[in-house]
């Protein structure tokens, strides 16, 4: 575990990132996917944290902007789940090789390579969660090269943040400093080297990455 993210100016080392797929209806429609009857989860390893090296891969890389949470303590199946499981909130980009993912999906194969590659998960600094924050109405947006591409709120999630944790620990125990990516709203598209990504989680944080 050598890759880190920053939480309130300190480096922390996530062992894994647990991601939610298909969590916003309009995004499910834009990719012509079915609305799932249960949560779709996948994992990106610590080695995926960073910026993608576009030249290294044969496939175009697409962005998905997502509200991301930093886990504050170890959480296992059967534990009580409340807002204290999260210590931080940040903005994350779930990079995806969409054409490879489609190819693998069509063959019924795992889409690991399209999601868990090096540089497949990029994060802002994580901030402490204000104590009275309503986790079910967090507004956020992503601009690329000045153009608004994604804007939504956790109120549109099919599975809300604490339900996501309950569903995750049925299969995967969480460790302190693991990250949960809560899924992307509509407006995904291709990313390019040199793009300027400007993100905002309303009243919490804003910033930018240059790819
Ligand atoms: Zn995603």
pLDDT (tens digit, 9 = 90+) per residue, 46-83? Answer: 999 999 999 999 999 999 999 999 999 999 999 999 99
What is the 63 CA–ligand 1 centroid distance (Å)?
8
Residue extents of the structural domains in the chain: 5-210
Q: Is the pLDDT of residue 1 over 80?
A: no
CA triple 141-144-145, angle to 5 deg: 140
The band of 100, judged by pLDDT with boundaries at 50, 70 and 90, is very high
Rounded to two decimals, the pTM is 0.95
Higher local confidence (pLDDT), 34 or 203: 203
Burial level of 40, CB count in 10 A (0-12/13-18/19+)? middle
CB neighbours (10 Å) of residue 34? Answer: 7
How high is the pLDDT of residue 32? 83
CATH topology of domain 5-210: Fumarylacetoacetate hydrolase; domain 2 (3.90.850)
Q: How far apart are the CA of 2 and the centre of ligand 1, in A?
A: 23
Lowest model confidence (mean pLDDT) among 31-45, 107-121, 190-204: 31-45
Distance 203 CA to ligand 1 centre (A): 23
Three-point CA angle 171, 42, 70, nearest 5°: 80
Distance 95 CA to ligand 1 centre (A): 7
Which secondary structure element, helix H or strand E, spans residue 162, and what is its range? Answer: helix 161-169
Among 111, 99, 132, 131, CA closest to 44: 111
Cα(93) to centroid of ligand 1, in Å?
Answer: 8
The whole-angstrom separation of Cα 50 and Cα 28 is 26
């Amino acid at each position: 575990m050598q890759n880190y993210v920053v939480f309130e100016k300190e480096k922390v080392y996530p062992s894994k990132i647990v991601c939610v797929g298909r969590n916003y209806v309009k995004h499910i429609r834009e990719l012509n996917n079915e609305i799932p009857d249960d949560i779709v989860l996948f994992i990106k390893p610590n080695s995926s944290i960073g910026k993608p090296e576009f030249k290294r891969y044969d496939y175009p890389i697409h962005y998905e902007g997502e509200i991301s949470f930093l886990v504050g303590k170890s959480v296992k199946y059967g534990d009580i789940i409340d807002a204290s499981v999260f210590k931080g909130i940040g903005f994350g980009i779930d990079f995806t090789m969409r054409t490879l993912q489609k190819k693998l999906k069509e063959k019924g194969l795992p889409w690991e390579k399209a999601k868990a590659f090096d540089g497949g998960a990029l994060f802002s600094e994580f901030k402490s969660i204000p104590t009275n924050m309503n986790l079910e109405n967090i507004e956020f947006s992503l601009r690329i090269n000045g153009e608004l591409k994604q804007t939504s709120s956790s109120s549109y999630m099919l599975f809300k943040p604490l339900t996501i944790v309950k569903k995750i620990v049925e299969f995967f125990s969480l460790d302190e400093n693991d990250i949960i990516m809560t899924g992307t709203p509509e407006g995904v598209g291709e990313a390019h080297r040199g793009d300027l990504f400007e993100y905002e989680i309303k009243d919490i944080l804003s910033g930018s990455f240059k790819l």
